[in-house]
Amino acid sequence: MYKVFVNDKPLFLTNEIAKETDFQLFLLESIDIEQLIIKMFQNKIQKAYLYYPDEKAILKKMKEKIPVCKAGGGLVYNRKGEVLFIYRNGKWDLPKGGIEKNEEIERTAIREVEEETGVDQLTISKKLQKTYHIFKRNGKYKLKVTHWFEMQSDFEGTPLPQANEGIEKAVWLNPEQVKEALKNSYENIKLLFEEEKLLKT
């Protein structure tokens, strides 16, 4: 099952039909995906499931219905075990951005962290899960697939937010501050921390 976020609301891609009642179930094959997305953006639908019988092909099927853009991002630790966060559009987020032509996705992730925060001396320690969310650009809905990497940095200076990208702050947060920041973050960022067992509740 895949979890795609539409305006921070979950859209599940599934090959199982569950007998629950708090969500709407649609057939991926026949759904007008744009209409569904619009309803989710308008808060008319809070949670939805898209059903397709073949789990292996489900994401491919979704990609036939909506343009996809690929991005790379970093969950970056410094030597003190603090995590690098950015603050943009009133929310805490992790540095990430779109892939450039012929670029390896690992390179994208490192480049975007450097550009958005000024933090360098980055090494990738492991590949994390991908996250999925739908956004609107130039009047069109797109599915953004972000490849996340855990990184370590020996950077000693002060992070520098990339103002022309609307980033107001770039800061290192300790585990307690991370918990606080995640209360005002995006669902797919929370998912990343939950998945990595970094959120001890």
Q: Dump pLDDT digits (tens) for 122-141.
A: 999 999 999 999 999 899 99
User: What are 30-63's pLDDT values in tens digits?
Assistant: 999 999 999 999 999 999 999 999 999 999 999 9
pLDDT exceeds 60 at position 201: no
The pLDDT value given to residue 198: 59
The secondary structure of 69-91 as a DSSP string is EEEEEEEEE-TTS-EEEEEETTE
Class of domain 69-195: alpha beta
The pLDDT value given to residue 58: 94
Residue 24: which pLDDT band, with cuts at 50, 70 and 90?
confident
> By mean pLDDT, which of 17-21, 46-50, 151-155 is the weakest?
17-21
Kindly state the average pLDDT of the residues 93-120: 97
What ranges do the domains of the chain cover?
A: 2-65, 69-195
The pLDDT value given to residue 115: 98
The pLDDT value given to residue 197: 66
